Structure 1
Amino acid sequence: MLPYLLVLSLVIFWIVLEKKSLNRTSFWLPLIILTLFAGARSYRVGTDTGNYTRNFNSQLNVEYFRFNEDIEFGYQVLEYALLSVTSSYFWLLTITSLIIVYCYLKSIKRYSVNYWFSVFLFITLGVYTFFFNGLRQGLAMAIFTLAVPYLLEKRLIPYLLVCAVASLFHVTALFIIPFYFIVNLRVRPVYKILATFLGSLLVSGVLVSYISSTNDRYENYAKASEEAGGFLTLGFYTVLMLLIMLVSYVYKIKDENFQKLITFYASGVVFIIPLAMLGTSPSGPQRLLAYFTWTLILILPVMLKKINNIYLYIASVLLFLTYFMLTTSRFSNLSPYILNPIFEVF
């Protein structure tokens, strides 16, 4: 757990220092630090990392590489290109980490009202470490963040294009397309959220069955889970959703982008609730939740800035730091952090 806390501290310290000393938003050094930390890890860090690095660990000759119709084409092209020049999985993890971290930091820099706090949330909420396990979906989610300007500006065609590119790495990115219309529909947000929940109640069973039938890799989506359907994580994000909506109402936060992000986040959360009620595996459709919860790194800074209470800031930092420590140390085989053997000389 210590390496994660050290990286978190270093990144936040540098962001604050650069802002105070040069009045500049730090981008490149946090990008390098977070990229290298993710890229230099062993394949044993993360439950699914070994699956992604298997061809590199076995030193597969690229001549014997076979494209699998059950795996998204974009990811396979990337893997094939890397295997053509190297058998070290360090480059797979580093290049994918660079793409993912760059996309998130770019979105944070553009939209956040409190850059250091957004980066803090990016790490502590597990958005950063998500791709330590689900690499393909992590790539798709990161690319999707580039569609946010088009979502907010009501530009459908570019939004669809970004989602299409993201789906080349994980097909679930196509699932986010309908939320463009939910967010931009000229109806009160509370009605949109309620309609999304009711719609999910009607279609969730059919949706899970369809997804699981289209690809053998997603068969576990329809299987009942012995882990209570991930209710703990979903409950956490549901409570946050209710608190955010309450604060938005009480403090009368009228910013249009803020309201659209809340609608997007809340609609995603309520859509997932019926899926959880089905008892499906947390590694299945509930992983779709991550497409929505990352927006908290933009939403929460706006809310806290509006309240403007130093004690609430401190309490929030402690809360999310505790959440980060618990989830990182207990779930997804993220801890202990193990260095790639090629660096063990250090």
Structure 2
Amino acid sequence: MTLYVFMFITLLLLSVGEVIYGNKKVVLIGGGLLSLLAGLRYYSGYDFAPYYSFFHDLTGIQDVFNGKIDAESGYLLLNYLFLKLGLNFYAFILFFAFLSMGLLINFLYRNAPYPSLILFYYFSRFFLARDMGQIRGSIASIILLYSVKYMKEKQLFKFLVVVFVASLFHITALIFIVGYLYENYLYDGSWKQLTFLFLLALTIGLIIQNPSLYLWAIPQRYAPYFTNPAYTSGKWLMNPVLWMQLLVFFGALLFTGIKKDSTYRTYHNLYFLASLSLIAFGNLATVGGRLSSPFATYEMFVAPYLILNFTKNKLVNLVLYLGFTVVIFLLIFVLSGDYVHFIPYDTLLN
């Protein structure tokens, strides 16, 4: 636990230093530290054992595409290349961590005025569960960041290419097509539309809890996610993550000018779809969580936008932002009990 608190404090100090000195290159230090933290782990975090098995279950190039292993072909192809090079799983994990974080840092550096502030929030909200756990979903969500430019410019072909690449690592990336349609053809910014979409999501959420109505349309591979009690015990409307997301969404809508900012309005719209996804998939905690994840990623832009524009005093806003991020870290990682999946932190270097 001490290591994660140390990393949290380090990222906090790097964020403050970036604001004071105005040097965006500070984010490279934070990104490098997080890459090492995720890449050098040994049986720490979610899904380490299954990913280890995926790597060693590959017997040839045919296993990348024949569906024998329960993972997407792009991810398996990277595994296969490392096997052919004679490298082990731990070399692969280290490479994958630097690849994921490298893509994230590059995007933040090019698109955020203070990328270390965003990275600090990302660590508190997403990093441990994703980059130290569900790494396929993590890199898919990070790749999707690069599609937003084409979404805004209505360059459908380029947008679909990026989404397709992301889907090679996690199939849920395909749901981002809904984001394209909503942003470019459905969104009108009215309260009437917001109300309608909430009611629609609630109706679907009620239906989804009766799998006999639609299970015939679900591929056999995914059927357990809709019927197995291990995956259908979600809290639905009592989900604290849902309420936190709604608080951030409506806070930005009511107390900032986010609708007038062309870039952040898109982030805000995509983030709204995260809450709708959680509502629409009712008690299906795993399905709802995974399908909402690509949209939830934009919280790392919307939450800072809300807090850093909360008052006219920039120093007060910065203090509020740092305090808010501390609360998020405590809620998501500590008070939720998730920390037990990450301790002790072991590495091959021990």
Aligned residue runs from structure 1 range 121-270, under 5 A: 121-127=121-127, 129-185=129-185, 187-201=188-202, 209=214, 213-216=218-221, 219-225=224-230, 228-231=233-236, 234-253=239-258, 254-270=260-276
**What stretches of structure 1 of length at least 5 have no aligned partner?**
none
**Residue by residue, what CA displacement relative to the aligned partner does 1:22-61 show, whole Å, maximum 9, x if unpaired?**
734323322221111101001x2123111111255x6x68
Q: Answer with 330-339 or 204-213: which moved more.
A: 204-213
Query: 1:71 Cα deviation (Å)?
Result: 2.9
- Secondary structure of the residue aligned to 1:45 is coil
Asked if the contact 2:281/2:287 (under 8 Å) is kept, the reply is no
| Mapped partners of 1:294, 1:27: distance in 2 | 18
Question: Taking structure 1 as reference, are residues 216 and 247 closer, same or farther at Cα in structure 2, changes over 3 Å only?
Answer: closer
Is the contact between residue 275 and residue 292 of structure 2 (CA under 8 Å) also seen in structure 1? yes
RMSD: 3.2
1:290 to 264, 287, 293: 293
- Aligned counterpart, 1:34: 34
Q: 5+ unaligned residues in a row in structure 2: which ranges?
A: none
- Counterpart CA distance in 1 for 2:263 and 2:87 is 44
Task: After superposing the two structures, state which structure 1 stretch, 243-252 or 45-54, moved more.
Answer: 243-252
| Local SS of the residue matching 2:234 | helix
Q: In 2 relative to 1, CA 333–100 (structure 1 residues): closer, same or farther, beyond 3 Å?
A: farther
Paired residue secondary structure (2:218)? helix
Q: Quote how far apart the aligned CAs of 1:199 are.
A: 4.2
CA shift for structure 1 position 333: 5.1
Residues 272-323 of structure 1: CA distance to partner in whole angstroms, max 9, x if unpaired? Answer: 21312xx22x233322222112111111222222213626335413312312
Query: 1:169-198 CA distances to partner (integer Å, 9 max, x unpaired)?
Result: 111111120221112235225444444444
Instruction: Give the total of aligned pairs.
Output: 336
Aligned to 2:46: 47
Structure 1 144/290 Cα, relative in aligned 2: closer, same or farther at 3 Å? same
- Counterpart among 296, 303, 307 of residue 306 in structure 2: 303
1:335 aligned to which of 329, 339, 342:
342
SS in 2 for 1:307: coil
Bigger mean CA offset, 196-205 vs 136-145: 196-205
Structure 1 residues 26 and 212: alpha-carbon distance in aligned structure 2, compared to 1, 3 A threshold: farther
In structure 2, the partner of 1:73 is 73
**Distance in 1 (alpha carbons) for counterparts of 2:303 and 2:328:** 11
Change (3 A) 1:200 1:120: same
How far did 1:74 drift? 0.9
Q: Residues 23 and 181 of structure 1: is their aligned pair in 2 closer, same or farther, counting only changes over 3 Å? A: same
Paired residues of 2:18 and 2:26 also in contact (CA < 8 A): yes
* Aligned-pair identity (%): 19
Contact 1:124 1:320 in 2 (8 A): yes
Asked whether the 8 Å contact 2:144–2:163 carries over to 1, the reply is: yes
TM-score, L = length of structure 1 = 0.83
- Native 8 Å contact 1:15 1:116 kept in 2: yes
2:140–2:170 CA contact under 8 A, matched in 1: yes
SS in 2 for 1:23: coil
Distance 1:210-1:262 versus aligned 2 partners, 3 A rule: farther
**More relative contact order in 1 or in 2 (CA 8 Å, sep 6+)?**
1
Q: 1:273 aligns with which of 257, 268, 279?
A: 279
- The alpha-carbon deviation at position 168 of structure 1 amounts to 1.0
Once the two structures are TM-superposed, the CA of residue 224 in structure 1 deviates from its matched residue by: 3.8
Residue number in structure 2 paired with 1:96: 96
Letter paired with 1:298: F
In structure 2, how many angstroms separate the alpha carbons of the residues matched to 1:313 and 1:86?
Answer: 46
Give the Cα–Cα distance (whole angstroms) in 2 for the partners of residues 22 and 249 of structure 1.
Answer: 30
- Could you state the TM-score of these two structures normalised by the residue count of structure 2? 0.82
Q: 2 CA distance for matches of 1:123 and 1:97?
A: 14
Report the Cα distance in structure 1 between the residues aligned to 2:342 and 2:88, rounded to whole angstroms. 22
